[in-house]
Structure 1
Amino acid sequence: MTATDTEVFPRAGALPYLIVGRARSAIDWYRQVFDATLAGDPVVLEDGRIGHAELVFPTGMVYLAEEFPEMGLSAPEAGATSVSLMLPVDDTDAVLTKARDAGGTVERWIAESHGHRNATLLDPFGHRWLLVGPLTGRRQGAATGTGR
């Protein structure tokens, strides 16, 4: 997202550290859907769990690790996450469609409000994402779709 086509988003004051049940699958999904890249190799523990991975998104970074119930770290239960991750994107329609087609669940289809084109989805690992992109000039409601 460039400063010429939309506002510049502030740098996050806190870095999200996602806990997931299947870290390898989550890394693949975030790479496929959100164009994230790995910053180095994940830390793989002796028991095979990923203890730490760093994903670089076009607009920031997210850390990720497997569940560690012995430390009180568990992935969110379906519908029980208390945090939404706001992700600025260049094309809300394209990213939401890619996410849905890759197994994400659309919670709120695309709407234009507050000067942005936005939508909400749950990824297959229980995390909620608020996609926020520039207005397209499209008539609201022109894109239709349903969640999975």
Structure 2
Amino acid sequence: MSELTPYICVNDSRAAIDWYRDVLGAELTVEPIVMDDGAVGHCELSVGGARWMMSDAFASADVAPPDPRRGACVTLHLGVDDVDLVAARVVASGQTLARGPEDTPGVGRVAVFRDPFGHRWFLNQPLPAAG
């Protein structure tokens, strides 16, 4: 079996955990492993079974968060039950939607945003079958 799990880096894992819980409804599935310097070396979160790993920056391992002055090189695609609800929480948290919520034929209901930690997210909800 193959599996691809994103491993993202942020400037403040503790704040990111709170934001992802409050806004995306994430569950912390692996408690933070805290390094000697106080940085979070590893934790894991999930939304509806879709999981990702996360850490703070580590210069010694050449791991850094996204540079907000540049475009995103990766987009995290997250299937949710209610794009409008999650998008409303994103906006209420102070973030701006880059797209949507809108219906896209063949794709579903979508919204796109960048979280406060620099990561670009694509929310997707299947549209009801026509008929």
The gaps in structure 2 that reach 5 residues or longer are: none
Q: Distance in 2 between matches of 1:44 and 1:37?
A: 18
1:47 Cα deviation (Å)? 0.5
- Misfit runs of 4+, over 6 Å: none
CA contact (8 A) 1:43 1:51 kept: yes
> What pairs with 1:9-28 in structure 2 (closer than 5 Å)?
13-28=3-18
Greater mean deviation of Cα atoms: 113-122 or 100-109: 100-109
TM-score after normalising by structure 2: 0.88
| Structure 2 counterpart of 1:142 | none
1:67 Cα deviation (Å)? 0.6
* CA deviation vs aligned residue, 1:20-41 (integer Å, no higher than 9, x gap): 0011000101111111111132
| Structure 1 counterpart of 2:33 | 43
Q: Distance in 1 between matches of 2:55 and 2:107?
A: 34
Q: Does 2:97 correspond to 1:102?
A: no
TM-score after normalising by structure 1: 0.79
Q: Does 2:43 correspond to 1:62?
A: no
Aligned residues: 127
Whose strand fraction is larger, Structure 1's or Structure 2's?
2
Q: Distance in 2 between matches of 1:62 and 1:21?
A: 16
Q: Distance in 1 between matches of 2:3 and 2:96?
A: 28
**Identity score, percent:** 37
1:115 Cα deviation (Å)? 4.4
Equivalent residue letter for 1:100:
V
Q: Distance in 2 between matches of 1:23 and 1:70?
A: 18
> What pairs with 1:1-148 in structure 2 (closer than 5 Å)?
13-78=3-68, 79-113=70-104, 114-135=106-127
Q: Distance in 1 between matches of 2:94 and 2:41?
A: 24
The gaps in structure 1 that reach 5 residues or longer are: 1-11, 137-148
Q: Distance in 2 between matches of 1:105 and 1:67?
A: 25
Equivalent residue letter for 1:52:
H
- Give the 3 Å change call, closer, same or farther, for CA 68–115 of structure 1 in structure 2: closer
Over aligned residues, Cα RMSD in angstroms? 1.9
CA contact (8 A) 1:59 1:88 kept: no
